Structure 1
C-alpha cells in the first residue's frame, strides 16, 4: 500500500519489496514473471534487503524514498560511510535504489551531480581491497577431508556410512577441482552431469558470468591419481549412498542419517566448508566456500598451470582477475628482498 502526501499519515510510504512495484504496472502474468527472471535470485534477494533498509531509513527521517531526491541519496551514503559500511555494500545499495526507480519508470536518482560527487569522495576515502577468503588447497585440504565423518554409530541399529560426511567430501572435492561458486554447487543437478572417459563433465546452465544462459558452461572433473583426492570417486560415492538419481546433487541430511529432497542453500554450503575447516583445526583463515575456488586458482598457479588454462576451468572472462587470488604467493617469487642475506 502507498499513502500519498496529504492523506492520513502525511509522509509517503512505499513498498519494502522492489518487485512489488512491478505489480502496479499494467503487466500480464507472463510479463511479470519475466521481470522477476531478469535478475538472478541472489541479486533479487539482495535488492529486497537493501530496499527495505533504505526505505526504513527514509521513514525515520520523514523523507520520500520513491522518488528519492539527490540529497536523500547523498545523505544516506554519507551516514553509511560514517558508520563504517564497506564501499561494496554501498555500491550494492545504490544498485537497489536504481532498480526500484527503474521499475516505476522514474529517473535514476543515483546519477545526479551531488550524488556522484559524494560517491566519488567516499570511494577515494574509504575504498579498500575486498576481503578475500583464504585459499583452501592441498595439503591442508587433505586434513579437512580426513576429518569428514565416515561412520555413524547407533545404539539401536548397526553402524552406517555417515551420509553427511560423504556429502561434505563430495562438496569439498567437487568445489575445489571444479572451481565452483557456492551458488553453482547449490544449483548443481544430476541431469547436468555427463560421463566421460577421463572423468565427468558438468554443464552449468547459468552462472554469475552467464546469467542469461545462452550456452551452458562446461566444467570438467578429472579422475585423480589418489583416490582420497578424486572428485569423481567422492561424487559417485555420495550419489550412490544417498540413492540420488535425479534432481539436486548436494542435499540436506537428517539427524537420522537420511538424505532429504531439499537442496542445500548457498549459505549452508558456506557454513559446511567453514565447519569442515574448524574440525581440521586449520589456521590462517577465514575459510569459506569461496576458499575452494580461490584454492584451485592458487594451487593451479603453483603447479605451473597457465592463467589461460586456469581461466578455462574457472570461467573468468578477464585473466587480470586471477591475479588477485595468487598475489600473496607470487610476491615471494624472484624477489630481491629474500636475497639480501640479512
Structure 2
C-alpha cells in the first residue's frame, strides 16, 4: 500500500477520534490518490502540509481538523514572512483537499471562515510576479549565440526551440521521449505530450514543431548519438562529454537563465515558464485570438493569456488609439 499524501509529524495535535479517523481514511485512499494526482501535485501537498504542521507545532494551533482562528494566525504569519497571495491560495487549497478527502469539516465553509479569509486576503495584493517572456526576437538572439557544434549547446538550442514552439511546461519537456517527436512531409514535426498538468488522464496532445526547430532537435539527437529514451538529457562536464539521464524541471529553468545571460540579455524573472509567456505575447501581438492561444498553451481558461498579454492589450486600448494617433488641431472660436 502507498503512503498517504500527507502525514502527521511528531508533536502535531491529534487528540480526538475524528482526527485519527481522518488519517485512517487518507491511508485507505493512498493508492488511489497516488494514481489520480500528478507527482508534482503530491509533492506540493507534502510541502504545504509540512509548513502547516510546523506552524501548528510551534504555536499550539490545532492541526487536524484546523480551526478558523488557527488558519487566521497561519495566514497572517505567512503574510509577515512575505508570502504572496498565490502562495496563500495554494496553502488553503492543499489544506482544504486534505480535510475533504478525510471527511473532516473545512473551516472556510463556515460564514466565520469565509469572513476571516475575505479580511485576510485584503492585506495582500492579488497581482502575481510574472516570468519574463522569451519572445521570438529574444529566443532567436539566445539560440544564435550558441555554438551548436558543442554538445551541451546543441541540446540547449533544441530545448529552447521546442519549448517555444510547443509552449510546453518544464514537466512536459523533461518527460519527452525520442519517439514522441516525429517528422512530417513538409519538414516540420509533431511533438506528442502524453500527459500534462491539465491532462491527468493522459489523453495526450499533438503539437506543432517548426522546420527550423525540428532541424535543431535532429541535430541534437545526431551529435548525442541518441536512439531511445529521454529526449533532453544531462551532459556531464567531462573530457569526453556524452548524454546521460533526463533533465529535471529545475535544470530547465537553470539552462534558460544561463543561456539568456550568456547572450547578454536581462535574466531577471527568466524561468522555464518564459517559453510559455513569450509565445503567448507574440501570438497576441500578431492578432491571434484568445481561444487559439489558450488552446495552443493548453490552459483551462483564458485568464493566464489575458494576464500575459496585458501590456500588449493596453497598447491597443481606446485611450492608446486616441492619444497615439495624430489628429487635426481644433480651430479656435
**Deviation at residue 276 of structure 1 after TM alignment:** 0.9
Q: 1:81, 1:122 within 8 Å by CA — same for their partners in 2?
A: no
* Corresponding position: 1:191 with 2:179: yes
1:313 is aligned, of 291, 296, 305, to 296
**Deviation at residue 195 of structure 1 after TM alignment:** 2.6
**Deviation at residue 146 of structure 1 after TM alignment:** 2.2
Q: How far apart in 2 are the matches of 1:74 and 1:111?
A: 14
* Corresponding position: 1:163 with 2:156: no
Deviations along 1:196-228, one digit per CA (max 9) or x if unpaired, are 223211221211221222x211111121xxxxx
For the structure 1 residues 240 and 34, does the alpha-carbon distance in structure 2 shift closer, same or farther, using more than 3 Å as the test? farther
Partner residue, 1:336: 322
**Deviation at residue 3 of structure 1 after TM alignment:** 9.3
Using the size of structure 2 for normalisation, the TM-score is 0.83
Partner residue, 1:226: none
Correspondences of 1:1-342 after superposition (within 5 Å): 12=13, 27=28, 32-150=30-148, 161-198=149-186, 199-213=188-202, 215-223=203-211, 230-256=212-238, 258-283=241-266, 285-333=268-316, 335-339=321-325
Q: 1:94, 1:110 within 8 Å by CA — same for their partners in 2?
A: no
For the structure 1 residues 255 and 322, does the alpha-carbon distance in structure 2 shift closer, same or farther, using more than 3 Å as the test? same
Partner residue, 2:19: none
Q: How far apart in 2 are the matches of 1:318 and 1:95?
A: 19
Q: 2:133, 2:270 within 8 Å by CA — same for their partners in 1?
A: yes
- After superposition, the CA RMSD in angstroms is 2.7
Q: How far apart in 2 are the matches of 1:262 and 1:34?
A: 29
SS at match of 2:245: strand
For the structure 1 residues 93 and 309, does the alpha-carbon distance in structure 2 shift closer, same or farther, using more than 3 Å as the test? closer
Deviations along 1:263-315, one digit per CA (max 9) or x if unpaired, are 11112101111111111121384221211111111112323434343334222
Using the size of structure 1 for normalisation, the TM-score is 0.81
Partner residue, 1:157: none
Is 321-330 or 265-274 further displaced after alignment? 321-330
Q: How far apart in 2 are the matches of 1:13 and 1:320?
A: 40
Identify the structure with the greater strand proportion.
1
**Deviation at residue 328 of structure 1 after TM alignment:** 0.8
Q: How far apart in 2 are the matches of 1:110 and 1:320?
A: 25
For the structure 1 residues 258 and 33, does the alpha-carbon distance in structure 2 shift closer, same or farther, using more than 3 Å as the test? farther
Q: How far apart in 2 are the matches of 1:319 and 1:138?
A: 21
Q: How far apart in 2 are the matches of 1:126 and 1:297?
A: 27
Deviations along 1:70-100, one digit per CA (max 9) or x if unpaired, are 2211221122223332111011111221233
SS at match of 1:51: helix
SS at match of 1:172: helix
Deviations along 1:236-280, one digit per CA (max 9) or x if unpaired, are 111111122222111111001534442111121011111111111
Q: How far apart in 2 are the matches of 1:122 and 1:63?
A: 18
